[in-house]
Amino acid sequence: MRPTYAVINLKKLKKNFLNIREKVGITKIMAVIKADAYGHGVEEVVKTLNSLKDKRPEYYAVAIPDEGVEFRRIKVEQPILVLEPFDVMQVHKLIENELIATVFTDRHLGILLEGTKKHRLENPGYRIKVHVKIDTGMNRIGIRFDEALGFIRNLNNDKNFLIEGVYTHFATSDEKNKDFSMLQLGRFNSILAELKKDKINIGIIHTANSGAILDIPDSYFNMVRPGIAMYGYYPSKETSESIKLDPVMSLISEVSSVKTIEAGETVSYGRTFKASRRTKIISVPIGYADGFSRGLSNKARAIINGKLYPQIGNVTMDRTMFNVFDDDIKVGDKVTLLGKEAGLEISAYDWAEILNTIPYEVMCGISKRVPRVYVN
């Protein structure tokens, strides 16, 4: 195995999930496991969550049909919602793998009708399960909130379909100011009230992402959708910490070379680091092809032997250098790039602040060529 690897602590994953379960009470949970479980490895993550037996997720969510196909390959039995739109080339994957489609246009409905024509002929009474996505202000995907009632009423009258759920997505639930989230929730509630008057059964209602789970209990309805929180991060530093979370992923490497350079000498492409005095530098076998972004150049740190050391020079594709001054650092010494060691911690938030991004992108960016090592 490579000396660079990601440690995935499954005990922490279970604890995070159970803490979410305790917070939401009897509300069902749709675990969001898209993007290879946010870079943690979908197979082991799902196996671990499903080991919780009666506390396991009631539903799973993926982004695209191919991810749902992978779930069925590893024998996931729970309902699986595909969050992203689909096209004609993908519809057979939904049908063959019993994946639930998100719909919000007549085009989606037409694709589903055409794709299931044979199945419906062979199975009289078969109805296509769907969840309707309502756009209450995110303005990404979904039927606009002021057009949603007509769409859902028409869908309810089409006996080829079964509305299994309706949902929306918050744009700012991770912000301290919840005014816009409350506006979205109000729009959504108004639609629900009208549907109730019409006696339309809309099945499962879900709106709460990780930020809303932490801070907006009125958005729980009968199912919530945790994503980043399961993996141990609050969605931003503006949310409460009403659930105890612990990062699941650590990123580890080792010292592969040690050399001394003289004052005035430079390091790496572009010569962006110049030594002010005689100093010792090390190289570590990780680079931007592994997810250690070039944007971290001359800004990141690593923990080695219980001490923080600065990264120096431009990060290269496969290798990164650190200044260890005059310390006794040897080839083979452990290097913690993300994680806790000797009372010190480097988190995805630290990288995110340097890169002007979010922990989601940091974790999803740890590439496939970094082996995942699973521990309990």
Rounded Cα gap, residues 296 and 275, in angstroms: 19
The 8-class DSSP code of residue 269 comes to G
Give residue 232's identity as a one-letter amino acid code: G
Alpha carbon 13 to its chain centroid, in Å, reads 13
So what's the pLDDT on residue 123? 87
pLDDT per residue as tens digits for the range 89-148: 999 999 999 999 999 999 999 999 999 988 888 888 899 999 999 999 999 999 999 999
pLDDT per residue as tens digits for the range 61-76: 999 999 999 999 999 9
Domain 10-231 has CATH 3.40.190.10: no
So what's the pLDDT on residue 197? 97
- % of the chain at pLDDT higher than 90: 96
So what's the pLDDT on residue 331? 98
Domains 10-231 and 249-375 share a fold: no
- pTM of the complete model: 0.95
So what's the pLDDT on residue 119? 84
Six token digits for residue 197: 């008057």
Least confident of 24-28, 34-38, 122-126, 287-291: 122-126
pLDDT per residue as tens digits for the range 263-303: 999 999 999 999 999 999 999 999 999 999 999 999 999 99
Place of tokens 């749902």: 68
Domain 249-375 has CATH 2.40.37.10: yes
Q: How confident is the model at residue 1 (pLDDT cuts 50, 70, 90)?
A: confident
Task: Spell out the domain ranges in the chain.
Answer: 10-231, 249-375
pLDDT per residue as tens digits for the range 233-272: 999 999 999 999 999 999 999 999 999 999 999 999 999 9
So what's the pLDDT on residue 109? 96
- In three-state secondary structure terms, 309 is strand
Q: How confident is the model at residue 183 (pLDDT cuts 50, 70, 90)?
A: very high
So what's the pLDDT on residue 232? 98
Q: Choose among 323, 326, 318: nearest CA to 269.
A: 318
Per the residue annotation, which of 12, 14, 34, 129 is the catalytic one? Answer: 34
Rounded Cα gap, residues 79 and 128, in angstroms: 13
Per the residue annotation, which of 117, 269, 274, 330 is the catalytic one? Answer: 269
So what's the pLDDT on residue 46? 97
For residue 314, pLDDT beyond 90: yes
CB atoms within 10 A of CB 132: 25
Q: Is 75 a catalytic residue?
A: no
Alpha carbon 153 to its chain centroid, in Å, reads 33
Q: Choose among 157, 155, 160, 164: nearest CA to 125.
A: 160
Q: Is 59 a catalytic residue?
A: no
